[in-house]
Homo-oligomer: A and B are copies of this chain.
Amino acid sequence: MRFQAGNVGAWTIDRLDAVVGEALPQAPRLEVVDDRHRHPATPTWLLRGFTSNERYVERQERSALTAVQQPLGRADATRAALIPVRKSDAWWELTQDDRRTILEERSHHIAIGLEYLPAVARRLHHSRDLGEDFDFLTWFEYPPAASDAFEELAIRLPSTEEWSFVEREVDIRLTRVTS
């Protein structure tokens, strides 16, 4: 997927804030496009990522998630967030069991996210293996009524041990353009 900021796009960028490290340039709109589409316009910035198999979720967590999670594109989910994150080399040098222990056993990343389902739908994109500036691009969609809940989620996760490995994070909030 490609997240392209510029003058065109189906989403209005309401705000774009640096959380850790450098921000991204401001722009009025964001377009989310499949890699197969050609987009001749020169964007203000462009972030690329791919969806992939799950890296940490275990069997019981998968069951709990799939029982309640909702798809992207719901008619009432007119708010979105794009959160690009880069983790430190120290994170990537950890072994799988160490990363899992920090992510879930100690930071409860999956369990915290589960509390905000089904209101908040989510899709993770991997960028690190493409040589991008960020490691992950997480895309969230939620109805306006879930905005306060999402703000809470956006505060809880960064206060965990896992986030001590985050060396760059940008928080981008969006509203779908009504046509």
Q: What is the interface of chain A, defined by CB distance below 8 A to chain B?
A: 50, 52-59, 61-62, 92, 95-98, 100, 126, 128-129
Q: A53-B92, A92-B53 are in contact. Are A97 and B129 (CB under 8 A)?
A: no
Q: Are B96 and A54 in contact (CB under 8 A)?
A: yes
Q: Are B58 and A95 in contact (CB under 8 A)?
A: yes
- The CA-CA distance from A100 to B61 in the complex, in Å, is 16
Q: Are A58 and B129 in contact (CB under 8 A)?
A: no
- The CA-CA distance from A129 to B1 in the complex, in Å, is 12
Interface centre among A95, A98, A126, A129 (most CB of B within 10 A): A95
Interface centre among A52, A53, A56, A58 (most CB of B within 10 A): A53
Q: Are B96 and A58 in contact (CB under 8 A)?
A: yes
Q: Are B57 and A95 in contact (CB under 8 A)?
A: yes
Q: Are B50 and A129 in contact (CB under 8 A)?
A: yes
Give 18 A-B pairs besides A53-B92, A62-B95 with Cβ atoms closer than 8 angstroms. Answer: A50-B129, A52-B128, A54-B95, A54-B96, A55-B55, A55-B96, A56-B96, A57-B95, A57-B96, A58-B95, A58-B96, A58-B97, A59-B97, A59-B98, A96-B96, A96-B100, A126-B129, A129-B129
Query: Nearest Cβ in chain B — how far from A63, in angstroms?
Result: 9
Query: Nearest Cβ in chain B — how far from A85, in angstroms?
Result: 15
- The CA-CA distance from A59 to B57 in the complex, in Å, is 19
